[in-house]
Structure 1
């Protein structure tokens, strides 16, 4: 009877080094922390701790927190400019606005992170290029096309800022309904259904359509 082979011991846990610090990993971790605790809780020190690195090591990639936020904003826009080409410029810019809103809503305080940043990365510039090119093709002068693009982007950011700031406060409209006394505020009381509509997507669609309708008038002149 032959002897049985001795089974190889299973490898025990290794004490490897933490993953190598990189710009991409730093941005990904910053977005994770943003979703976890919001923008106010995101500090360079907390980010360094999460990466198991010294705070000073982060400045190799980002000289300031604003630089980090700009990189995060650029990352959030990944794929936003990839919309199907359409002969109707309004359809193109509408799709872009919806993609931007969805990208900002995908992260806690996403609109606050994005607001005020000036990224020159491929995601941001690609998004802007798609919008401006569609507007120029429709007959806008290049400068007017850029201004129209900014108007759409700024509306989208502002609306999304309000959406994220109001999150959690839209469930109970009882105080507002009580305040809308028809004798004091007859116009507001008549618009009660819209004022207490929790579907902010409806408000966004209405505002975006009104903005684009205004741009249509401008391009015809």
Structure 2
């Protein structure tokens, strides 16, 4: 009897394939069946590694994280201030999320499947504690900035049907015409739905200023 040889799938390989398909289909169109077809295996083969879609999202987020920290531009130099460290880390996070369609949705609520993130978390909290923060305040500061970035990118990507393609209802001029009876709300669209880079930077600096005013030693 001839035994058919099969290639053992690695979870990271499946996740990398899923991330490629994510850019083509978006999160709603991403299924285990589609990933299995891309890998030339039967869908049940994936359930050896992922009992459900959330387990797959956890692995995808882990791969995304590893890609982010592998980018030297996303890692702050060791001698920067705690303020510049928070800015650099969250700029890198946003850039990493924007690499993938619906990247922020994949990342949100995911549980990393490894412990790679622990070393970076230790370094981030350590920098704040060394600057005089209590551990509690260091955690509050770093997670507040993180959640701002995650929420910002979720909204940023949520206005697009696909990368570079604005969803119906988010065109600034059409929105202003629809809200003509509410002049302030209509005019606000140009601020809300354009110039995301500078708005993110301004908002992040507001977060850092708030952290300094609330948690920093001597505040």
TM over 0.5: yes
Partner of 1:175: 174
In structure 1, the partner of 2:90 is 97
Mapped contact 1:136–1:142 kept (Cα < 8 A): yes
Unmatched runs of 5 consecutive residues or more in structure 2: 70-74
Q: Is the Cα contact below 8 Å between 1:96 and 1:127 reproduced in 2? A: no
Shifted more, 36-45 versus 114-123: the winner is 114-123
Q: Using the TM superposition, give the Cα deviation of residue 55 of structure 1 relative to its aligned residue in structure 2, in angstroms.
A: 1.8
**Residues 25 and 87 of structure 1: CA distance in aligned 2, closer, same or farther (over 3 Å):** closer
RMSD: 2.6
1:179–1:77 Cα change, 3 Å: same
1:119 and 2:118 are equivalent in the alignment = no
Query: In the alignment, what sits opposite 2:191?
Result: 194
Offset at 1:155? Answer: 0.5
Q: In the TM superposition, what is the alpha-carbon distance from 1:187 to its structure 2 partner? A: 8.4
Aligned equivalent of 2:140, options 137, 147, 160: 147
In 1, the alpha carbon distance for the partners of 2:8 and 2:68 equals 29
Q: How far 1:19 moved relative to its partner?
A: 5.2
Alpha-carbon contact 2:76-2:89 (below 8 Å) kept: yes
Residue 80 of structure 1: how far off its partner (Å): 3.6
Q: CA deviation at 1:169?
A: 2.8
1:133-159 deviation line (CA, Å, top 9, x unaligned): 222122111122112111111110100
Structure 1: 4+ residue segments shifted above 6 A: none
For structure 1, the residue ranges without an aligned partner over 5 or more in a row are 1-15
TM-score between both structures, scaled by the size of structure 2: 0.81
User: Residue 47 and residue 188 in structure 1: after superposition, are their counterparts in 2 closer, same or farther (change >3 A)?
Assistant: closer
What is the CA distance between 1:61 and its match in structure 2? 1.7
How many residues are matched? Answer: 203
Residue 72 of structure 2 is matched in structure 1 by none
- One of 51, 56, 59 as aligned partner of 1:71: 59
In the alignment, the residues of structure 1 paired with residue 33 and residue 42 of structure 2 have an alpha-carbon distance, to the nearest angstrom, of 8
Matched, 1:57 2:45: yes
The reply on whether 1:32 has 2:20 as its aligned counterpart is: yes
| Equivalent pair of 1:75/1:123 in contact (CA under 8 Å) | no
Cα gap change, 1:71 to 1:187, in 2 (>3 Å): closer
Q: Distance in 1 between matches of 2:156 and 2:116?
A: 24
Tell me, in whole angstroms, the C-alpha distance in 2 between the residues paired with 1:26 and 1:195.
Answer: 36
Computing the radius of gyration from Cα coordinates, the structure with the larger value is: 1
Give me the whole-angstrom Cα distance separating, in 1, the residues matched to 2:23 and 2:5. Answer: 26
